[in-house]
Chains A and B, each alone.
Chain A
Amino acid sequence: MALSLPAIMRTTAARLSALYFLLFALCAVLLVFYMTSLSARMLTGQTQQTINDEVLGLARAYQRGGLPVLVRVVEQRSRQPGANLYLIADANGQILTGNVQSLEPGVLETDGWTTEPFSYRRFGEGELERQRNQAADPNGAPPGETEIQVEGEKGHNAIALVLRLPNQMIMLVGRDLGEPERFRAVIRRALMLALGMMGLGGLLIWFFVGRAALKRIDSVSEASRRIMGGDLTGRLPVTGAGDEFDRLSENLNTMLARIATLNEGLKQVSDNIAHDLKTPLTRLRNRAEATLSGKHKTTDYRQALEGTIAESDQLIKTFNAILMISRLEAGYSSESTSKVDLAAAVRDVVELYEPVAEEAVVALETSVDGDFTVNGNRELIGQALSNIVDNAIKYSTDATEKPAVRVALQRVGHEIRLSVADNGHGIPDDADRARVTERFVRLEKSRSQPGSGLGLSLAKAIMTFHNGKLELLPANPGLSVIMSFPAREDH
């Protein structure tokens, strides 16, 4: 599958993958941000609570023994590992004691909670002692110097509560923000990782699922291109997986088969028209030409014109029959069906043909008693049956015994069988019997009889329309034509 990138991006699979990926990513980012901010706020609250508790303890110490006790407690707590930040400074901000070596300037100037996290530097474990000694000596190195040293390096961040003692000294209790920041960093890393994995996963899914679907669609469109190219026998690939693609392909294949059938029917009709209507048309034309050339009497013209009309009528009949056959066979006839009393329909046709049979000295016998209801069209059934009865009467006249045609109705299983049997010579040859329902097929013997060669084809098409079938069986002697209708279910 050699597709360029824009071509890939035009595919539905790629577009859907990209859309899903974007939506997932957006949700993940929102969720992670919400969680981070929620946790950060919770951690800050916890920090403030711890500081408050510390301050409360220190305040109690101050109340108990004034500044000396407070300083002692502060020093004690400062020394503990992982301790909070403690600082006591004089009114000018000069650090007196605590575990903070230096601060961002300005932190001590405002009382209360620091509004922003500030940077600070804590005494190292070894330095702590020395600094404390220095702090005990107010004439030690000026703190400004220390601050300058610190400012160049990156300090830790903290939040703190700044309090002014009754003697104007400043006390700061704070807590390092290292923990929440580390937490945030972890979350951020996790988010990055998750997004990366999702991206990779999306690509993999698209590659395996989307590409597979694309391949199937490509093979279908490849096959349809071949079919469009004129190869109506081509079919879409069916993998046998029974999934949506297979169902689609199967339906399209059924559709193609239907189209092929219709196409075949159409081709046959045009072939028929070409072969079998050309002859009478030529005859018609020649007759007119012959009448025009040479001298003739008025009666000759009249005769020629009458012949022309008769021939045209026959042509129209043939043409109508062809149209009707192809419509019925193709299944787009608009004729409707309803409940038809087959016995009554048979009696009507037999009654119509009775005088004809009598004139031809053919005994027309019927055995149609009983209730035989089918779904169908009385007119079409009548037409099919009349063609068959007509044939039977015609071809029973050469019977060796007394010519007879028997019309019988009987139910066999889920079928209602209407049989018309004559005792003439029949059609002994199996191949001829199979062929005779094809359009325009007239067997040698029948060439002398009038007819278009469409009667049985029409009857067969009518039976197809009724979801039934038309069979020709040898009756020994004679021919038995059987029209089988599906019985109505409610019977």
Chain B
Amino acid sequence: MKILVIEDDREAADYMQKAFAEAGHTAHVAGDGETGFALADAGDYDVMVVDRMMPRRDGLSVIAGLRSRGNTTPVLILSALGEVDDRVTGLRAGGDDYLTKPYAFSELLARVEVLNRRASAREAETVYRVGDLELDRLSHSVKRAAREITLQPREFRLLEYLMRHAGQVVTRTMLLENVWDYHFDPQTNVIDVHVSRLRGKIEKGFDKPILHTVRGAGYMLKS
């Protein structure tokens, strides 16, 4: 995956570049808004990571500029401004995801991989399949090895999200945001309990595990 990082904090940008490389991606770094805009406009990137407050041109203006020129590259906004309204402003400017500083790199990586436009073609599919697990988005039915599994509505949405991003790491925050539409950190790890309950339903009675825990990062659905 080709990633463009537009971030004025040199140290943070270098760290990101190195870490993305370790994860098998290529990352280019632009140190200010103008340079970033020029690079994004010329190059063909899969995902962009854009800081909000930067010299010469702020992140939101860069994104709005690119969108008005027809550039649809998915953008993840990085910002120290973390209130819900800041997030709404960011997403309205054309961002696809929003991550508040300070963040864990594992979280950033998981989100960037989920944003990857080559991987996110599943949106239109009506039936998701991962191994012998099958989820029909229209009839709201779930089957594993042709055996029907009954899920609560929220469990269905949880599984749907995990299956859409099968093979990718999905963090707890991503689940809380996308399945429950909450952006705060619950005191107890409620997500773990929901996931283990779902795991019980889709793994119990089958020989192979399919919902894996990724240490220090989150979960991954993989056959």
Q: What residues of chain A have their CB less than 8 Å away from a CB belonging to chain B?
A: 306, 309, 313, 316-317, 320, 327, 333-336, 348, 351-353, 355-356, 359, 377, 379-380, 382-383, 386-387, 390, 393-394, 450-451, 455
Q: What residues of chain B have their CB less than 8 Å away from a CB belonging to chain A?
A: 82-86, 102, 104, 154, 180, 182-188, 190, 193-194, 197, 216
Q: Which residue of B lies closest to A316 (CB)?
A: B102
Whether A352 touches B180, Cβ cut-off 8 Å, given contacts A333-B83, A335-B83, is yes
- Taking CB atoms, residues of chain A closer than 8 Å to B86 are 334
A355-B190, A382-B184 given; 14 more Cβ-contact pairs under 8 Å: A306-B216, A320-B82, A334-B83, A335-B85, A348-B180, A352-B180, A352-B186, A352-B190, A355-B194, A356-B188, A356-B193, A386-B186, A387-B187, A455-B187
Q: How far is the CA of A394 from the CA of B193 in the complex (A)?
A: 15
- Taking CB atoms, residues of chain B closer than 8 Å to A455 are 187
Main secondary structure of the interface of A (DSSP, over half): helix
Whether A382 touches B84, Cβ cut-off 8 Å, given contacts A355-B190, A359-B193, is no
Is B186 touching A379 in the complex (CB atoms < 8 A)?
A: no
13 A/B residue pairs, CB under 8 Å, sorted by A: A306-B216, A334-B83, A334-B85, A335-B83, A336-B85, A352-B182, A355-B193, A355-B194, A356-B190, A386-B182, A386-B186, A386-B187, A451-B187
Q: How far is the CA of A409 from the CA of B193 in the complex (A)?
A: 26
Is B83 touching A386 in the complex (CB atoms < 8 A)?
A: no
Is B183 touching A379 in the complex (CB atoms < 8 A)?
A: yes
Tell which of A316, A351, A353, A386 touches B184, judged by Cβ atoms closer than 8 Å. A386
- Nearest Cβ on chain B to A8's Cβ, whole angstroms: 53
Whether A353 touches B85, Cβ cut-off 8 Å, given contacts A306-B216, A313-B104, A317-B185, is no
Whether A379 touches B188, Cβ cut-off 8 Å, given contacts A316-B102, A334-B86, A359-B193, is no
Whether A353 touches B190, Cβ cut-off 8 Å, given contacts A317-B185, A386-B184, is yes
- Taking CB atoms, residues of chain A closer than 8 Å to B187 are 386-387, 390, 450-451, 455
Q: How far is the CA of A380 from the CA of B83 in the complex (A)?
A: 10
- Taking CB atoms, residues of chain B closer than 8 Å to A351 are 154
- Nearest Cβ on chain A to B157's Cβ, whole angstroms: 11
Q: How far is the CA of A316 from the CA of B193 in the complex (A)?
A: 23
Q: Which residue of A lies closest to B193 (CB)?
A: A355
Is B154 touching A390 in the complex (CB atoms < 8 A)?
A: no
Q: Which residue of A lies closest to B183 (CB)?
A: A379
Q: How far is the CA of A335 from the CA of B188 in the complex (A)?
A: 24
Q: How far is the CA of A379 from the CA of B184 in the complex (A)?
A: 8
Whether A335 touches B102, Cβ cut-off 8 Å, given contacts A351-B154, A352-B186, A451-B187, is no
Q: How far is the CA of A95 from the CA of B160 in the complex (A)?
A: 137
- Taking CB atoms, residues of chain A closer than 8 Å to B183 are 379
- Taking CB atoms, residues of chain B closer than 8 Å to A320 are 82, 185
Tell which of A334, A379, A451 touches B182, judged by Cβ atoms closer than 8 Å. A379
Q: How far is the CA of A387 from the CA of B193 in the complex (A)?
A: 17
- Nearest Cβ on chain B to A48's Cβ, whole angstroms: 88
Q: How far is the CA of A5 from the CA of B193 in the complex (A)?
A: 82
Is B188 touching A377 in the complex (CB atoms < 8 A)?
A: no
Whether A379 touches B197, Cβ cut-off 8 Å, given contacts A351-B154, A386-B186, is no
- Nearest Cβ on chain A to B91's Cβ, whole angstroms: 14
- Nearest Cβ on chain A to B198's Cβ, whole angstroms: 9
Q: How far is the CA of A456 from the CA of B193 in the complex (A)?
A: 23
- Taking CB atoms, residues of chain A closer than 8 Å to B182 are 352, 379, 382-383, 386
